[in-house]
Structures are given as C-alpha cells and as structure tokens.
Amino acid sequence: MVSISASVTPTTLSTLAGKRILLGISAGIAAYKSALIVRLLKQAGCEVRVVMTSGAQAFITPLTLQALSGEPVRTSLLDPEAEAGMGHIELARWADIILIAPATADLMARLVHGMADDLLTTLCLASEAPRLIAPAMNQAMWRHPATQRNVTQLHADGWQLIGPAAGDQACGDVGPGRMSEPDAIFEVVARLFSGAPQAGNAPHVVITAGPTREALDPVRYLSNHSSGKMGYALAAAAVAQGATVTLISGPVALPTPNGVTRIDVESAEQMHQEAMRWAPEAALFIGCAAVADYRSASPAEHKLKKQEDSDTFTLTLIKNPDIIADVAALPTEQRPLVVGFAAETQQLEHYAHDKLKRKGLDMIVANDVSQAGLGFGSNENAALLLWRTAQGTEQRLESPQPKTQLAQVIVRQALSLI
C-alpha cells in the first residue's frame, strides 16, 4: 500500500509550494498510480496540470485527474479552444518541470526521435524545463536492446530516469519494468527542487553490482554468493548525494533504488560490454559486482547428462574480461575515476594494495568475507578504504556497520577525489 502522506514533511511543503508540475501520462496499467502522484504533489502545494495521451485515457479518465488536480486535463494537440492562443506553447513555458509517469516504450522511442505527433511529445520539444521520466513496461520490453538504446539517448538528451522497479507485473512476468511507486517518484521531484545537483550538472556515477552467471548448459551456471546489497546501497547513496546513477546489475532479488537507471545483465561478458559502453560518460565508476573470473569454454547447447561410467567430470574454463582493469585503462579523456572492490579471506591490506596498483585503480574498498555476519548476503559490512593522493596512498578502516551507512562513506570519499 502506498502511503499518501509519508513523504509530505514541513520542509517538503516549503520546498515545493507553488512549483508548477506538468504531469504527462501515457498508456499502461500503471496509469492508475498517476492519480496518487497528483495527490501527493497537490498536498505539497504544487500546481499540477495533466496531459494525457489518447491511450492513457483507456486506463484512467481525464475527469478523475481533473478532480484531483483542480485543473482541466489536456488530451489533444488540436483543441480549437486551447490552441486559439497557441496553448501548447504557453503550457510548455508554464512548467517548472515535466514529469512523465508512466512512460511506455513507445513514448520513449518517440521522444528519442524528436517526434511531435501529439500534445505530450510536442510539449517536451517546446519546453526547456527539467524533465523526469518513469518508465513502465513488460520486463522483456525493458530489456530489449532497442529500449536500452533509447534509455541511453534519453539520458544524453537530459532526461532523468526514475526507476523502473523490479517485481511482479500485470502480465504475470517478474522482472524490471514496473513503474516506481508514487511516493518514490514524489521524492525525486522534491529532491530536484531541494537544491541538490541534478541531471544537467550532477556527476554521473556508474556502478556494477551483484553476481554474474556463466552458463554451462541451458539449465546450469557458475556463480557466487553475492546478493548485490552493497552495490545497490552504493547506488542509493550516490543518488542521495546528488549524482545521476547508472546501475549495471547482475541477477539479484532487489528493487531498483529510487532515481537510479538500472541495466540488467547475466554474464561477465554482458557486464563488460555495458561497463565499457557507459564508463566513458561517467565521472565515477565503482566496480562492486562479484564478477566470475572464468567461464565455460563451450557452453553445451543441451542439458549435460550425468556420466554413469565416471565419478569425475572435467570442465574447461577460460578467463573472463577484466572489467575494472579495462575501465581503468581507458584513454585519459574517456577515463572516469575508478573505484574497485576486493573480497578477501586473508592478508586484507596486502592484497588490497596489490590490486590497487596492479589494476591501476584510484581507490579500492577491501573487505574480509571470511568474517561471520559480514560481506556476502548480509546487511552489514566492514571495509578497508585505500585511495591515491598526490602524496601517495592513504587509507582508513571502517568498522562493521550497515551496508547503507558504509555506502554513504564510500561514495562521499570517492566523490571527493573527482
């Protein structure tokens, strides 16, 4: 259940009072949540005007949104009365921000190509206001290469993505693509007006998280115990400190942090491809994923059968690409500040120093995963932080603490080095 009043604090009321929000709604079952977004914004003192695509009206009526916003809902670019005074240009100039929630794959594609074939896309072209977009679609549509290309271009064009979240979907699938909840979207809007850096001038942080899976056959794979909790905590911490965040995630059972653009991958090769695609655009790259060092030389096309006449089974493994080293080796004009992680079971400081130097990193976060209750799968972690300075290498030991708290420390230190 969404709490309608949980995010409305006195500070938020003073920050948002009088702000003009243009809310665009496109077709999708998540359109019903847009009513809650309007209500939250109105409770915070915002002026809200709603623009709906023709498809959106099949899921929620303009009358509902008019009643909640207190303003007529615009649905057509060719409204004779509204356009008598070039109403779409006036509306575009009126908005302090444009928020589209939900945004379908189709709408995102049309925005990428600069189409202006309805009122909402026309307003987006005609406005210079900050723009937020909350995608909502089937998990396969979200993962499709065409959609991911559009996500990249929208980001480059100045759009700030909110979510999507992962979980059960109306079609019965499970995965990323759910629209972020109304209170999470509201918090991003509030943060935009709070004075924190936003998409245009915020540092872009790219983070890898979770494990990778290396296929042996269609049903088996090599992996590890990484839960992704540390990487996801880093992503949330970076957003909280004003960064624009792209999270490249292996398979985990975690929701996407608010305000984070998430890209899902399975194998180390896929993670490497996405990391090399996004790293040159970033100011900071944090390699927190537990990437498999090796993969099968030749994954079987069909399920491997047990060999009844032998008690042993031999696999031939080959090295995976070294993601963090390849990012650190980028040309100077493309290279972000690079932070790596080292999960060790002994000689923590020795191996951390060695990896920092050998991989060409700017900073490393080393943790002893042999300690009970810390590291993989747990909610707490301890770490040794090492970073390069003009004078040499400095370090600090962080005692056991919640991963969310440690993430704030790591991100703050990394951002200070940019």
Cα–Cα distance between 215 and 297 in angstroms, integer?
10
Cα–Cα distance between 402 and 207 in angstroms, integer?
19
321 is in an annotated binding site: yes
Cα–Cα distance between 235 and 241 in angstroms, integer?
10
Active-site residue, 124 included: no
318 is in an annotated binding site: no
Please, are residues 87 and 78 in contact by the beta-carbon 8 Å criterion? Answer: no
183 is in an annotated binding site: no
Cα–Cα distance between 89 and 127 in angstroms, integer?
8
Q: Which of 6, 17, 125, 171 is catalytic?
A: 171
Beta bridge pairs of residue 51: 24, 74
What lies within 8 Å, CB to CB, of 19 at 6+ separation is: 45, 46, 47, 96, 97, 193
185 is in an annotated binding site: no
Name the token pair of 347. Answer: 């000689």
- Own/partner contacts of 168-172, CB < 8 Å, gap of 24 or more, are 169/138, 169/139, 170/29, 171/138
355 is in an annotated binding site: yes
124 is in an annotated binding site: no
At position 60, the amino acid (one-letter code) is I
305 is in an annotated binding site: no
Sign of CA dihedral 272, 242, 238, 176: negative
Number of Cβ within a 10 Å radius of residue 51: 29
42 is in an annotated binding site: no
285 is in an annotated binding site: no
303 is in an annotated binding site: yes
Short-list 404, 167, 151, 107, CA closest to 262: 151
Cis, peptide link before residue 164, omega less than 30° from 0: yes
322 is in an annotated binding site: yes
**H, E, C per residue of 205-265:** EEEEECECCEECCCCCEECCCCCCHHHHHHHHHHHHCCCEEEEEECCCCCCCCCCEEEEEC
323 is in an annotated binding site: yes
Residues taking part in catalysis: 171
Please give the annotated binding residues for CTP, written as ranges.
287-289, 293, 303, 321-324, 341, 355, 359
Annotated binding site: 287-289, 293, 303, 321-324, 341, 355, 359
